[in-house]
Structure 1
Amino acid sequence: MTNPYESTGPIETNSPSPAPSSPETRDLAVPGETTEPAAPSDDVREEPKPKVKGSLAGGTWVALIFGTLLLILLLIFIMQNQTNVELDLFAWSFTVPVGVGFLLAAITGALIMAIVGGVRMLELRRQVRRARKALR
C-alpha cells in the first residue's frame, strides 16, 4: 500500500513558471508576464517634476491677446452700426453713430467701475495701516 501523501515525483503547482531569461526564449513569454526583474522597492523614488508657476508677464500676455480680440469684435460692431442716433446728456445733445454710442457707454461704465474699485482699495489700505499700527 502506498501513502497518498508521499511525493514520488516533481510537485506540480498551478503557479506560472518563471519568466524566461535567455534571449532566445524571451519571445516565448506568456502575455501578461514580465520578463524583466522587478525594480527594488527600496526608497528609489522618482522626484516629481516641479510645476511651473504662472508669471505676471504670461498673464499679461494672455490678457493682451484677449483684449485685442475684443477690440477687433468691437471695431466690427461699430463698422456695422453706422446709423446716427441723437444722444442727450444733461444739457448737451449730440448725434453719433449707434456703435460709437455703445462704445461711449462701455467706456463710461468701465470708468465708474475703476473709480469704485479704487475707492475700495484705498479703504483696504487704510485698514491695513491701522492694523499695523495696532500691532506695534
Structure 2
Amino acid sequence: MTETPRRFDPTNPDGAPTSPYAEAADATPGPASAEQGLGTDVAATTAGREDTTRPEEPTAQAPAPAPAPDTRQVTRAGMVWAAVACALVVLILLIAFILQNQEYVQVKFFGLEGSVPLGIALFIAAVGGGVLVAIAGAARIIQLRLAAHRVRRQASPGTRTR
C-alpha cells in the first residue's frame, strides 16, 4: 500500500514526512493543505480509499503563515521601457503604412494647393490632430492648476505670497 502525500507540520513531531511523495507535497502546496485545516488528502478521498492520515492535534500556537511570493515591483524605468517598446511598434507600423501609400494626391488647404504622397498627407493630418489635442489638454491642466492655487491661497489667508 502506498502512502498518501501530505504536508509536513513542524509542530507535530510524529508527522514528519517518511516518503519522497510527502516531501514533494510539502514543496508544492495543493488544495488540501495543513493551513486550510483539512485532515484528509483530496487524492485519497477522490480515489475512494480510506483516509490513512490522522487528524491534526490542536496546538497552543498557530503555525506561522508561509511567506508571500515575491511580487514584481513596477518602476519608472520599466514603465519607460514599455512605453518606448510600444512607440517603436507604432512607428514601424506607421513606416509600413507610409511606404505602402506612395501615390500622389492633390491637397488643398486654405487656398494652398499641392501634391503630396497619400501616406505623408495622412501622417501630417494625424500629427496636426495630436497637436490640437495636446494644446487643449495643456490649457485644461493650466486651468486646474490655477484653480488649485486659488483654493490653497484662500485656505491660508494669513500668509502672503510675493
**TM-score between the two structures when normalised by the length of structure 2:** 0.58
Larger Rg: 1
**TM-score between the two structures when normalised by the length of structure 1:** 0.69
SS of match in other structure, 2:80: helix
CA offset digits 1:24-79 (Å, max 9, x no partner): 9xxxxx973448x7795615223434644422221111111111111111111111
Q: Does 1:63 align with 2:121?
A: no
SS of match in other structure, 1:88: strand
Larger RCO of the pair (alpha carbons < 8 Å, separation 6+): 2
| Paired AA for residue 141 in structure 2 | M
How many residue pairs end up in the alignment? Answer: 114
39 and 72 in structure 1: CA distance in 2 versus 1, 3 angstrom threshold:
farther
Q: What's 2:124 paired with?
A: 104
SS of match in other structure, 1:87: strand
Q: What's 2:7 paired with?
A: none
Q: What's 1:95 paired with?
A: 115
- Which residues of structure 1 form unaligned runs of 5+? 1-18, 25-29
51 and 128 in structure 1: CA distance in 2 versus 1, 3 angstrom threshold:
farther
Q: Does 1:135 align with 2:151?
A: no
Q: 2:144 aligns with which of 124, 128, 131?
A: 124
Q: What's 2:100 paired with?
A: 80
Looking at structure 2, the residues matched to 46 and 134 of structure 1 have their Cα atoms a distance apart, in angstroms, of 52
84 and 48 in structure 1: CA distance in 2 versus 1, 3 angstrom threshold:
same
RMSD: 3.4
Looking at structure 1, the residues matched to 104 and 69 of structure 2 have their Cα atoms a distance apart, in angstroms, of 59
Looking at structure 2, the residues matched to 58 and 131 of structure 1 have their Cα atoms a distance apart, in angstroms, of 36
- Which residues of structure 2 form unaligned runs of 5+? 1-13, 20-40, 45-51, 157-162
112 and 84 in structure 1: CA distance in 2 versus 1, 3 angstrom threshold:
same
